[in-house]
């Protein structure tokens, strides 16, 4: 079936890591120990942290949110923009005092930043209180890395420069939530010229559908109702395996799992969004009517420089099809403001797209230069101040559109999957519509995990309030 070789980490290697997990668990038996894991970045990293915590739990560490109590502190880092990296450096620096007060504390940094050689060098030289460093490709080797640091009191710095593998059957920590993320593929082959992800996450590789289904069924048995299928470009699912099923087929497959009521996915690249996917979204009742389709910029000149492989017209054509086949679809996007070469005229094209599509919400970022990417050497037209001005104008426009779109919900009834208590008021529960809109309403905690009918009584820019029907 699969023509791929050496993509999965061997069973032998996984068993070896599990043996080390048991070894550490024996050493820890009888003592109470705690692990603090902080995650930066996207859903992929959240998913990796669940595996990290799964391994730590089996080694005898309980999850804690209190750094001062922790015996192990791990930062799972993101490299997508400079401010994400600066935050991590700041937070690692701040751990120096904690390490001095408690020398047995193990400090680890992992994730996407640690898949870049120049960053690893910086940690090695300037942050000597960090005990372990490992990148995304070494995640499955965490038990061995950890054991060596803990047992031999030495720094372990692992940097492997390869395409990345798939590690199945690792333990996984799941919070007690009706929602869960399931990775369907790893890596990215698109090499958008601004983006670091292909360099730190390796080549595209799809998980076998049997492994995905095993995970989904297991989650359903444990009370999970909504699955978010994860990948940097889920539309490429299966393309790396000869004659394999594609992403729309996978959606239909996952929807057969008993107990799973809703399925979402992230992210789709516009160039690969197929009619078949739109049809499955329209027809399959379990697939949520929500699409995140990053356009990045409305100017064709800039889209070309970004290597996005579509024009704004091609993008808008896909949006028209989506709206036609899925009338109440919720649409969101990502926008980069101030890509090298972008002038005010290019930016106006982006503003036009926002007015045409009328997204429910937009995730916008000011361009950040990434080491080793093609755009690193491209030159700016706009100054920092001009970029900021455009960015603010865009937010202003989108806030108006988001508020107007939410206003359309006022007075209507929706099915809400209850996720948990509202963060601001414990008497209120929070959940989402099928389209992914956040709704807060007065209700009991016993409703968590259930789908309830809620009438919207108040529409805000970012969320909706309502009452149980």
User: Are 232 and 201 within 8 A, CB to CB?
Assistant: yes
Question: Which residue, 75 or 194, is less far from ligand SAH as judged by CB?
Answer: 194
Question: Alpha-carbon distance 298 to 335, whole Å?
Answer: 9
- Kindly state whether residue 266 participates in binding ligand F3S, applying the rule CB under 6 A: no
CB contact set of 208 (below 8 Å; sequence gap of 6+): 2
Dmax over CA atoms of the chain, in Å, equals 66
Q: How many residues bind ligand F3S (CB under 6 A)?
A: 12
Q: Which of 108, 164, 187, 294 binds ligand SAH (CB under 6 A)?
A: 294
Handedness of CA 429, 283, 321, 342 (dihedral sign): positive
Helices assigned H by DSSP within 153-274: 197-201, 209-221, 247-254
- Please say which residue, 99 or 371, places its beta carbon nearer to ligand SAH: 371
Residues of this chain, 102-141, that bind ligand F3S according to CB under 6 A: 112
127 touches ligand SAH (CB under 6 A): no
* Chain residue whose CB lies nearest ligand F3S: 41
201 makes contact with ligand F3S (CB under 6 A)? yes
The least distance separating ligand SAH from the CB of residue 232, rounded to whole angstroms, comes to 4
Structure tokens at 93: 């620096």
198 contacts which partner out of ligand SF4, ligand SAH, ligand F3S, none, CB within 5 to 8 A by kind? ligand SF4
Strand boundaries in 101-240, DSSP class E = 106-111, 132-135, 156-158, 179-183, 185-186, 205-206, 226-230
C-alpha neighbours within 13 Å on the C-beta side of residue 71: 15
Q: Does 288 belong to an annotated binding site?
A: no
Q: Count of CB atoms within 10 A of residue 307's CB?
A: 14
CB-based burial of residue 18 (10 Å sphere; 0-12 exposed, 13-18 middle, 19+ buried)? middle
Q: Would you say 110 or 335 has its CB closer to ligand SAH?
A: 335
Minimum distance, C-beta of residue 84 to ligand SF4, in the bound complex (Å): 14
Least Å distance, CB 73 to ligand F3S, is 18
Binding site for ligand SF4 (CB under 6 A): 188, 190-192, 195, 197-198, 232-233, 269
Residue nearest to ligand SAH (CB): 334
Asked whether 88 and 79 are in contact (CB, 8 A), the reply is no
297 marked as binding residue: no
Binding site for ligand SAH (CB under 6 A): 80-81, 194-195, 197, 232-233, 267, 269, 294, 296, 334, 336, 365, 367-368, 370
Binding-site annotation, residues:
42, 78, 112, 188, 192, 195
Binding site for ligand F3S (CB under 6 A): 41-42, 44-45, 78-80, 112, 196-197, 200-201
């Amino acid at each position: 079936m699969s023509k791929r070789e050496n993509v999965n980490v061997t069973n032998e290697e996984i068993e070896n890591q599990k043996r080390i997990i048991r070894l550490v668990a024996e050493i820890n038996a009888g003592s109470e120990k705690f692990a603090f894991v902080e995650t930066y970045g996207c859903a992929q990293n959240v998913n990796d942290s669940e595996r990290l915590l799964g391994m730590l739990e089996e080694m005898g560490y309980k999850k804690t949110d209190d750094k001062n109590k922790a015996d192990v502190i791990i930062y799972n880092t993101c490299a997508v923009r400079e401010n994400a990296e600066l935050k991590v450096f700041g937070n690692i620096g701040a751990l120096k005092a904690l390490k001095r007060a408690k020398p047995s504390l193990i400090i680890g940094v992992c994730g996407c930043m640690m898949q870049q050689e120049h960053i690893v060098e910086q940690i090695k030289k300037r942050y000597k209180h960090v005990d372990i460093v490992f990148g995304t490709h070494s995640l499955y080797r965490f038990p061995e890395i950890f054991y060596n640091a803990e047992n031999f009191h030495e720094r372990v710095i692992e940097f492997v420069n390869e395409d990345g593998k798939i590690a199945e059957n690792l333990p996984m920590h799941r919070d007690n939530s009706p929602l869960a993320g399931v990775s369907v593929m790893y890596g990215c082959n698109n090499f958008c010229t601004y983006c670091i992800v292909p360099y730190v996450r390796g080549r595209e590789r799809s998980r076998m559908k049997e492994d995905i289904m095993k995970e989904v069924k297991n989650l359903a048995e444990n009370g999970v109702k909504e699955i978010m299928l994860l990948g940097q470009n889920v539309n490429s699912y299966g393309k790396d395996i000869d004659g394999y099923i594609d992403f729309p087929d996978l959606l239909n497959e996952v929807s057969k799992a008993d107990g799973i009521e809703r399925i979402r996915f992230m992210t789709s690249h516009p160039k690969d969004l197929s009619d078949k996917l739109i049809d499955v979204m329209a027809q399959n009742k379990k697939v949520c009517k929500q699409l995140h389709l990053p356009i990045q910029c409305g100017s064709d000149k800039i889209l070309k420089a970004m290597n996005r492989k579509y024009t704004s017209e091609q993008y808008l054509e896909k949006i028209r099809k989506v709206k036609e086949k899925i009338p109440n679809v919720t649409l969101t996007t990502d926008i980069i403001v101030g890509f090298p070469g972008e002038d005010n005229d290019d930016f106006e094209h982006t503003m036009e797209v926002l007015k045409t599509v009328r997204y429910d919400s937009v995730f916008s970022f000011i361009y950040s230069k990434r080491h080793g990417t093609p755009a690193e050497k491209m030159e700016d037209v706009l100054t920092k101040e001009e970029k900021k001005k455009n960015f603010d104008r865009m937010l202003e426009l989108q806030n108006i559109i988001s508020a107007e779109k939410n206003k359309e919900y006022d007075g209507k009834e929706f099915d809400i999957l209850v996720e948990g208590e509202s963060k601001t008021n414990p008497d209120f529960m929070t959940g989402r519509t099928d389209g992914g809109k956040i709704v807060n309403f007065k209700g009991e905690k016993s409703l968590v995990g259930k789908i309830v009918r809620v009438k919207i009584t108040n529409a805000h820019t970012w969320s909706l309030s309502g009452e149980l029907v």
